[in-house]
Amino acid sequence: MRRFVPDLAPARMSDDSKRSNTTGKSETPAAWTFFRQWLKNPRAMAALAPSSRQLARQMVAQLPAGAQRVIELGAGTGVFTRALLEHGIAQRELLVLELNAELYGLLREQFPQSQVVNGDACDLDKIVKTSGFDASSGIDAVVSGLGLLAMPRSLQKKILKAVFSVLGPESPLIQFTYGPISPVPRDLLNELGLSMRRAGIAWKNVPPATVYVYTRSRSTSVRAVRVGDAA
């Protein structure tokens, strides 16, 4: 039986996306650049068009109060990046990760003071260590635009392990999906000691998208503290 993977947005752009910017010097519309990358690698892109500003605002609204140091995964043409900066995250406090080389080049051009890295979310722990991004006082949140739903469980697991290896004990992973349920299955959440919360739906996004917030389960944090205390 074929698995239904709805993380592929239709070609039509939302009003918000139409308002979105061009991609730097070439003045190529961001949506066209995005679509061209989808033609090259639909599985990695996992959507036909960039997210809407409505979805970006809903993602950013889930940042913990006072969040300063943030990592963004799968930034694409920078819709969430711009929303993070508008929210007040300083460019130098933002590490932006993008696997696609062309999109990475555009992001570097647009966000020159941020730490933009051409790399794989699976390697996040190594990237944080080697990039010079100052993570000494903790990462407050990871905002992910990755198409997790379209990924096999093994890849999801690699990425989640890498993400939670850099996040502080209470810090969240903020993720969206076009699917009707969490893109990370319950059994994987249990295996990794994670909890999830559905945080809202961006109806104007095409297609509508749901925002999920993942954190370490309370019981896991308590266990971790007890082990530390005993040592």
User: Nearer Cβ to ligand SAM, position 126 or 226?
Assistant: 126
Does residue 150 belong to the site contacting ligand SAM (CB under 6 A)?
A: no
Does residue 147 belong to the site contacting ligand SAM (CB under 6 A)?
A: yes
Triad 191, 120, 69: Cα angle to 5°: 80
DSSP state of 29: B
Q: Which of 23, 33, 51, 110 binds ligand SAM (CB under 6 A)?
A: 51
- Beta strands 141-144 and 94-98 are unpaired
Question: Angle of helix 153-166 relative to helix 124-131, nearest 10 degrees?
Answer: 40
Does residue 189 belong to the site contacting ligand SAM (CB under 6 A)?
A: no
User: Nearer Cβ to ligand SAM, position 4 or 229?
Assistant: 4
Whole-number minimum distance, CB 24 to ligand SAM, in Å?
15
- What residues between 91 and 130 interact with ligand SAM by CB under 6 A? 97-100, 103, 120-122
Q: Which of 79, 117, 141, 142 binds ligand SAM (CB under 6 A)?
A: 79
Q: Which long-range contacts (CB under 8 A, 24 or more apart) does 20-23 make?
A: 20/50, 20/53, 20/77, 20/79, 21/77, 21/78, 21/82, 23/77, 23/106, 23/109, 23/110
Whole-number minimum distance, CB 222 to ligand SAM, in Å?
32
Phi-psi region of 222 (alpha: psi -120 to 50; beta: other; left: phi over 0): alpha
Whole-number minimum distance, CB 140 to ligand SAM, in Å?
19
Instruction: Give me the residues that bind ligand SAM (CB under 6 A), please.
Output: 44-47, 50-51, 73-76, 79-80, 97-100, 103, 120-122, 145-147
